[in-house]
Chain A
Amino acid sequence: MASPACTALPLKARETLEAMGQADILFGIPSFNNAATIGHVIRAVKVGWAKYYPGRRAVLVNSDGGSTDGTQDVVKRTLEEDSYDMSLVHTPSLPLRGLTIRYEGIPGKGSAFKAVFEAARLLNVKACAVFDSDLRSITPEWVQLLLAPVLEKGYGYVCPFYRRHKYDGTITNSIAYPLTRALYGRRVRQPIGGDFGFSGDLVSRYLEKDVWETDVARFGIDIWMTTTAMVEGFKICQSFMGAKIHDAKDPGADLGPMFEQVVGTIFSLMKTYEARWREVAGSRPTAIFGFQAEVSPGPLHVNVHRMIEKFKEGFDKNQAYYEGFLASDCYTKLAEVREMCSESIDFPKVLWVKTIYNYAARYHDAGDKKRLLDSLIPLYFGYVASFVRETETYDDYRAEDVIEELCEIYEDTKPYLLQLWTERVSEE
């Protein structure tokens, strides 16, 4: 028998959850071929729950996308093992109930999360925490860091705040963080961090939205969750988690669909929340919790030469396309950057911001949105290569100052976006 329409939870999982009754906390872990790392994540969550919330009824849901590497077997084994004694925590009197499911719907992280949300609603939980399954630096403390602000301080949404290598998270650093901050006025440093805490009320709000046939069902989920929480009035904070060590990638390597889905979701939300962001000027910080400790995120090799080559090739291939829709001042300056580019590159920050604003304004009437976003990728490589050149002798902290400078340019250049938007979108 098929599951009810528009659900990501298979019928059997739904029945299992219904039989569980109510719970206080739900842990959600999406996965797809993460057999090598997911066991560690589950152990950390189990011990964290036993250490900080042993009296709270908790359920762990692994929402898998059809792994073929034995991920779900690892989940089952790790759920059954006794992780407590070796970690010097008492075995809780209540068991941590857990299940691994194969979610239904469009393959992607967002659909995996939808199944987690549905499970949370069925169990009527007070709080949820979700964790990426490729984490190597997760500790039991992450459980408390993501749940305590919700359970004990009345926050609706908790974002992670990590120390990351200066070249890890370049989509975050060059687009997702500064653009979201400039649009909605709230500084959330890792809006697509992957690990979040949130209230049961926010789960209900997420499930009201009709977004599950869009990029939100894929990698757009993180920025969509953060933006929705931010714009719809849920109290937001950040928790300092230490270093994020995961399967980080060279930003010059293939971006795959992630870039398009994240950036496309941000642009798409700009239409949804137009009335809100148009009124915002500047930005405000967000409360932060957690214990300060010096941490090192570890090395990350970046191939600048490859990024510059991709910029040059991509620019040459898309030149006519760029000229067709970018504002002339923006296009002319991009062409100058291309002209001057050899083994090195200097991509001015204000030009990068204006480029993003041109794309944002164009997105809504673009017939082929994928084509549009594809054409942004070479320019993104050019900007990131320039950032790497500028910061190659800097430590992570000083590189952070450069990102802060970029954020202020996004904020200060917002009138340019408003002008483009008024000309191109509002008149539709």
Chain B
Amino acid sequence: MEERKKILAIDDEEDIRFILEEELTDEGYEVHTLGDPTQALDTIEEIKPDLVLLDIKMPQMSGTELLGKIRDRYYDLPVILLTAYSSFKRDIACAASDYYVVKSGDLTELKERIARIFKVKI
């Protein structure tokens, strides 16, 4: 039996973490959540996720700053950036993410992006 893919969702908003965990677990993924981005690198080291979902705007550290640190240490770890505002896409740092998804109550686009990432073969 194929092992479930592990997703780490990092978002300072508890409601968002809850929705992501509920919906993505229903999709068959093993979902871990984290509210404090300063703990992200340790958590990644510990649980070794197959994908990170990363909120861009967090009080302790921006998602794009954290993305740079993730790329530095885990060059090929897939990351999807999540944000409430599409204007963040103008930040060139976003180009280092696999995808950029605008938050919505409907997770269809996010689920499609996750599925696409897990089909990548390089």
Contact = CB atoms under 8 A, between A and B. Distances in A.
Interface of A: 153, 161, 184-187, 189, 235, 238, 240, 279-288, 290, 292, 397
A235 B120 contact: no
Nearest to B122: A185
Interface of B: 68, 71-72, 75-76, 78, 89-93, 95-98, 116-117, 119-122
15 contacts: A185-B122, A235-B75, A281-B120, A282-B116, A282-B117, A284-B98, A284-B122, A285-B97, A286-B96, A287-B68, A287-B75, A288-B71, A288-B92, A288-B95, A292-B93
A282 B118 CA distance: 9
Given A284-B76, A285-B97, A287-B71, A240 B122 contact: no
Contact of A288 (B75, B90, B93, B120): B93
A339 B119 CA distance: 38
A181 to B, nearest CB: 11
Given A161-B92, A238-B95, A292-B93, A281 B75 contact: no
Contact of B121 (A187, A280, A285, A287): A280
Contacts of A235: 75
A282 B120 contact: yes
A296 B78 CA distance: 30
A242 to B, nearest CB: 10
B73 to A, nearest CB: 11
B75 A240 contact: no
A290 B91 CA distance: 11
Contacts, number: 53
B122 A280 contact: yes
Contacts of A279: 121
A357 B101 CA distance: 30
Nearest to B98: A285
A292 B91 contact: yes
A161 B91 CA distance: 12
Nearest to A395: B90
Given A235-B75, A285-B97, A287-B71, A397 B92 contact: no
B62 to A, nearest CB: 11
A285 B54 CA distance: 15
Contact of A189 (B93, B95, B119): B95
A186 B96 CA distance: 11
A397 B90 contact: yes
Contacts of A186: 122
Contacts of B96: 285-288
Contacts of A397: 89-90
Of B95, B120, B121, most A-chain CB atoms within 10 Å:
B95
**Which of A161, A279, A286, A287 has the most chain B CB atoms inside 10 A of its CB?**
A287
A281 B121 contact: yes
Nearest to A397: B90
A287 B72 contact: yes
A184 B122 CA distance: 7
A193 to B, nearest CB: 14
Contacts of A288: 71, 92-93, 95-96
A216 to B, nearest CB: 24
B122 to A, nearest CB: 4
Contacts of A240: 92
B54 to A, nearest CB: 13
B121 A161 contact: no
B114 to A, nearest CB: 12
Contact of B92 (A153, A184, A292): A292
Nearest to A396: B90
A290 B92 contact: yes
B43 to A, nearest CB: 21
A299 to B, nearest CB: 20
Nearest to A187: B95
A146 to B, nearest CB: 16
Contacts of B116: 282
Contacts of B117: 282
B4 to A, nearest CB: 20
B52 to A, nearest CB: 13
Contacts of A292: 91-93
A282 B92 contact: no
A153 B78 CA distance: 20
A307 B97 CA distance: 35
Nearest to B95: A288
A276 to B, nearest CB: 10
Contacts of B78: 284
Contacts of B121: 185, 279-282
Nearest to B96: A288
Contacts of B119: 281-282
A285 B120 CA distance: 11
Given A185-B120, A235-B75, A285 B95 contact: yes
B5 to A, nearest CB: 15
